Amino acid sequence: MTSIIRSTQGGCWGSDRPRLWLYGSVFDPAVMPLIDRVESLQGVIRKVKRIEAMGQTGRSNYVDVTKFPKAGTSKLSTDEMPEAPTAPSTYNEKILANYVPVYVMLPLGVISNDNVFEDQPKMEKQLKELRAAGVDGVMVDVWWGIVESKGPKQYDWSAYRSLFALVQECGLKLQAIMSFHRCGGNVGDEVTIPLPQWVLDIGETDPDIFYTNRKGNRNKEYLTIGVDNQPLFDGRTAVQLYSDYMKSFREHMSDFIEAGLIIDIEVGLGPAGELRYPSYTGTQGWVFPGIGEFQCYDKYLEAEFKEAATGAGHPEWGLPDNAGEYNDTPGSTEFFGLNGTYMTEKGKFFLTWYSNKLINHGDEILDEANRAFLGCKVKLAAKVAGIHWWYKSPSHAAELTSGYYNLKDRDGYRPIARMLSRHYAIFNFTCLEMRDSEQRADAKCGPQELVQQVLSGGWREEVEVAGENALSRYDSNGYNQMLLNARPSGISREGLPKQIMYGVTYLRLSDELLKDKNFKIFKTFVKKMHADQDYCADLGMYNHQIGPLERSKPKLVMEDLLEATKPMEPFPWGEETDMKIDDFDGVLANLIRKLFSLFK
């Protein structure tokens, strides 16, 4: 396959002011008066250049600052302006193995509720800016509530085909999310896209098709897993609804798949597209850092639990009635408090059933996805939520209500990774950007430890691990944390690192991201994710070649999942990334430190 090599900048500077590339970062000539005060600047710069030339990437990427006019001279002419770094004729192959592709999530409402691709000129401009910045591709929600809105099996893919054609024209890859959930009610949801109306109509006569809390409040964000195999939808089960949708997608998007545009199919498995229960939802009054509520009180799940408890010899056991409400703390409840119900035989039985139902749901839908895309050159993926609050409390209450049975002596994420490995699926995790020090102390948050546990579990189960930020960030601190998590042990100069993320998706494309200062830092972030290598169009050059999707491996037995709950120490993690980004002030300070260090 011929490699297409381009500069990550593509000649787009973002402003009229000339920029200087030094130490792999954007540098502004406006700081030159400060540097002019350093004695023997030319000699110092030559030393700096010699040091940089022997840097970790194996090639120099700088402009000779001694050729810039000093402060006070006339403005640079067009001919004197530094050009964007040109693409090298060859890559450093060993360093290229550290390349982590970067994708950007498109706006939630890029396709309108009326199934129209609106404002195409603006989207084209933004996509071209992303491509010029070195971004590898984009991710987009393909909303069930839009495509199948007119009636059962009445699919209309026309607007998405127009969008995909534009993405292809702009030279980007595509990750498509099979979004079987409602948009609206979660953090960052700026538009409302409900489930198909004909599905909601069925819910009017049978409200138990929706997740339900102990008080009987219904959540219409996603169908309860209790109806996965109930033929309530004009003779089809929920699993069949999802399966038919994915088969139709493959049929109508086959040309894009065959052309290599669509490389990932992320299968929505719950609210916000994540494999979890809707335990924390703003539409029902939840606010951070509430523990959330169990969501298994619809008649279908209640009947299943009763059957399971009876089969275990405890027909008297019912669903929890002492687990508190959305905004409680663990200690205020009998279930999650000190020596609480979660530690008893009854509590353990319930939590095992609750979490296994979720894993089985994901397993069944992914099996259908595997059948739908069998033989296609795509990867399947599933997303798991980063429930980081109360992670450092004994009961991990917020994780438990979400369906992640994770405690100090029990790993709740490695069984999910093992299930995903059966389908050759990517494990996509959130909250990569978060640090413990940024969180509320009283919420006992542990995003850093959580990410380390989850990613380590995925790597131990030999699945590809990808991730994204949970909240929009434009600062170097957030980007640096993502860079650290992408390569916990740093750059390997001998080829593929032992632990490296398969890809990172940035949430999300917006006017705010594209503002000069924000986009400047973002472009540096992309370059650092690429291990300071230029954009690489050939996936095989960094070990991401995609072959035809194979049939899923045999179904796991319960013993396999239980074995995966054994806790293990995470892999070693660096204190900070070795591909650190500085904002403008940080660049200046770092440059001055480097200059003066040469005199010591």
Q: What is the tens place of the pLDDT at every residue in 305-352? A: 999 999 999 999 999 999 999 999 999 999 999 999 999 999 999 999
Ordered domains of the chain (ranges, CATH): 5-18+82-597 (3.20.20.80)
138, burial (CB in 10 Å: exposed 0-12, middle 13-18, buried 19+): buried
Percent of the chain with pLDDT over 70: 82
Does pLDDT of 402 surpass 50?
A: yes
d(CA 254, CA 208): 36
Q: Say if residue 141 carries a ligand binding annotation.
A: yes
| Out of 23-32, 134-143, 174-183, 568-577, least confident range | 23-32
Averaged pLDDT, 225-249: 99
105 Ramachandran zone, left/alpha/beta (phi>0; psi -120 to 50): beta
Averaged pLDDT, 421-431: 98
Q: What is the tens place of the pLDDT at every residue in 511-525? A: 999 999 999 999 999
Q: Say if residue 388 carries a ligand binding annotation.
A: yes
Q: Say if residue 181 carries a ligand binding annotation.
A: yes
Q: Say if residue 16 carries a ligand binding annotation.
A: no
Among 274, 368, 399, 461, the active-site one is 274
> Under a CB-based contact definition with an 8 Å cutoff, are residues 483 and 102 in contact?
no
Does pLDDT of 475 surpass 80?
A: yes
Q: What pLDDT band is residue 595 in, cutting at 50, 70 and 90? A: low
β-bridge pairing 5-6 and 102-105:
unpaired
Structure tokens at 314: 């405890």
Structure tokens at 70: 């000093």
d(CA 386, CA 110): 25
Residue 30 half-sphere exposure toward CB, CA atoms < 13 A: 7
Structure tokens at 486: 């992408």
Q: Say if residue 383 carries a ligand binding annotation.
A: yes
Q: Catalytic residue at 433?
A: no
Per-residue model confidence (pLDDT) at position 174:
99
Per-residue model confidence (pLDDT) at position 61:
37
Q: What pLDDT band is residue 159 in, cutting at 50, 70 and 90? A: very high
Per-residue model confidence (pLDDT) at position 31:
39
488 phi, psi to nearest 5 deg: -60, -30
Q: Catalytic residue at 307?
A: no
Percent of the chain with pLDDT over 90: 80
Q: Rounded to two decimals, what is the model's pTM?
A: 0.84
327 phi, psi to nearest 5 deg: -105, 20
| Out of 48-52, 69-73, 218-222, 228-232, least confident range | 69-73
Mean pLDDT of the chain: 87
Q: Say if residue 115 carries a ligand binding annotation.
A: no
d(CA 193, CA 232): 22
